Structure formats: structure tokens, C-alpha cells
Chain A
């Protein structure tokens, strides 16, 4: 008797599960609606915003000093890769609009050496930022954040 009950309840569970799968499969869920699964904003959102700002500052410096392309272009590309990786991790469409910094970094300084020095400062701050995020992160995010910190440290090394 008990056995029968178990079988029927297992069947009920399986049937319910199959129903859920069918419902999920039937829905064409837009990618962004995944955000509605998180009740609070992702803790990595501020890091993403600052990473976007870092990438964009490189772009501004390169616009002001195009001759630095060989030196700074690959570093800007590294930051762009971080933006994509963090957006994916958070569940934001990496091709869509990115969170923008509330304050502009201001115009690029006229002196090339000073502009690079400013980038070094931003990289150092960014390294600390990513290291802090790595130390606070759950296991599944630690490697990504550690690599971002290491990349920024390597940038400091080759710019100084």
C-alpha cells in the first residue's frame, strides 16, 4: 500500500516536473528577463561600471594621442574583454547599453606623459578594486576577478 502511494507520488512529481520543463521550453524568454530572478542588484555592478569607465578613459586618451595606439590599444582591449566577462557574469546583455559612471572623468590632459600617469593611477585603483571583489566573491567568481586584478597589475608594470 505504501509502495503504491510512493509510486503515485513519484509519478505526480515527475508529471509536475515535465510540466515545468514544457512550460519553460514553450516560453521564448528574453535574455534580459533573467535579471528579474535577482531581487537585489548584483554586487558586481559597481565593478562593471568602473570597468566601463576605465575602458572608456583609454579610448579618450587614444583619441587625444593616436600615436599611443600600439602601446595602449592592447590594454584597452583587455579592459573591453573584462567588460564583456563581467556583463555576462552579472547577466547583462554585453551588446546592450552598459551602466555609465555618474561623473565624467573630465577632459584628457594635454601632456602625453601625464595622461599615461593618470591611467597608471586608475589601473592601480582598479587592481585593488578587483582584488577586493575577488576576496569577497563566492567560489565560482573568484578566478575571473583574480585574473582581472592580475591583468590590471600587469598593465601597471608595462606602463611604468
Chain B
């Protein structure tokens, strides 16, 4: 039986799949320091994805695979649109991890809060690189 916590982790996994796709797509439009930022972010998302796959499988839940492609909310044509997309992806991933907090406890909640913290941190770094404001929100992941 799938628990509410498992359902939230499945949703978080789907968000991580989408984030990995977005970094793969937008990465080519980045330059200088933002390339390193994106590379680190993508590898962090992959690590979270792998963790979720292992956890869900261990709990007897089939982890959903990544979709072959994801529809982008707007065309990514340059550095500015790439950073905008990635900041949006971090916000959306943060929202899924935030939703995973209430039904979890112990080390799984720790995983969720660490992931939420990382999404918010990367989102702020991306907005800072893009020169957009506000850089932060008071309640990351709250939609």
C-alpha cells in the first residue's frame, strides 16, 4: 500500500526528473560562472533522484521513470531565459519537497528539508546571477 509519505516522495522524484531535464536543456545557454553553478546543481538533483529511487524501491513502490521530454513554459534561447527557467524549476522542486515535510518524519523528513534548503539556495543563486529581484522569498516552496 502506498502511504501519503510515499506519494509525496513520488511527486518529489517527478520534480527531480524534470529538473534534471531542464538543466540538461538550459545548460548549453549558460556561460562563465553560471556553467559551474548549473553543473553542481544538476549533479545535486541527480543525487536526490538516486536517493529517492532507492528509498521508494525499498518501500515496495515502483519509482516513476523520467519522461522522454518535458514541455518548457517558454523558449530557452539565451542566458537570461535559461536562468529564468532554472530558477522556476528550483521553485517548483522546492514546492514538492515542502509538501513532503508534513507526512514524513525522522530521516525522510531530514531528506526533504535538506532538499528544500538546497532548492531555495540554488534559486537565490540563479536569480542573483540573472540580476532579477526579489532574490529570495520568505517561504520558499510555498505556492
Contact = CB atoms under 8 A, between A and B. Distances in A.
Interface in A72-124: 74-75, 77-78, 81-82, 85
A144 B138 CA distance: 10
Interface in B119-141: 119-121, 123-125, 128, 133-141
B11 interface: no
Interface string A108-147: 0000000000000000000100010011000110111011
Secondary structure at the B interface, as helix, strand, loop or mixed, is helix
Interface stretch (A5-13, A21-29, A36-44, A149-157): A149-157
Nearest to B99: A143
Interface string B34-76: 0000000000000000000000000000000000000000000
Contacts of A74: 133-136
Contacts, number: 95
Contact of A81 (B117, B133, B139): B139
- Is the interface on chain A under 10, 10 to 19, 20 to 34, or 35 or more residues? 20 to 34
B24 interface: no
A131 B117 contact: yes
Contact of B142 (A143, A154, A157): A143
Given A150-B119, A150-B140, A131 B113 contact: yes
A158 interface: yes
B116 interface: yes
Nearest to B136: A154
A140 B105 CA distance: 12
Given A78-B136, A78-B138, A150 B116 contact: yes
Given A74-B135, A74-B136, A139-B103, A147 B109 contact: no
Contact of B141 (A82, A127, A139, A147): A147
Contacts of B142: 143, 147
B113 to A, nearest CB: 5
A151 B113 contact: no
Question: Helix, strand, loop or mixed for chain A's interface?
Answer: helix
8 pairs of A and B residues whose beta carbons are closest in the complex:
A150-B120, A81-B138, A142-B101, A154-B124, A139-B102, A147-B139, A150-B140, A78-B138
21 contacts: A81-B139, A82-B138, A85-B139, A131-B117, A134-B109, A134-B113, A140-B102, A142-B101, A146-B97, A147-B140, A150-B94, A150-B117, A150-B121, A151-B136, A151-B139, A153-B117, A153-B118, A153-B121, A157-B121, A157-B124, A158-B135
Interface of B: 94, 97-99, 101-104, 106, 109-110, 112-113, 116-121, 123-125, 128, 133-142
Given A78-B137, A139-B103, A143-B142, 8 more contacts: A74-B136, A78-B138, A142-B101, A147-B141, A150-B141, A151-B140, A153-B121, A157-B121
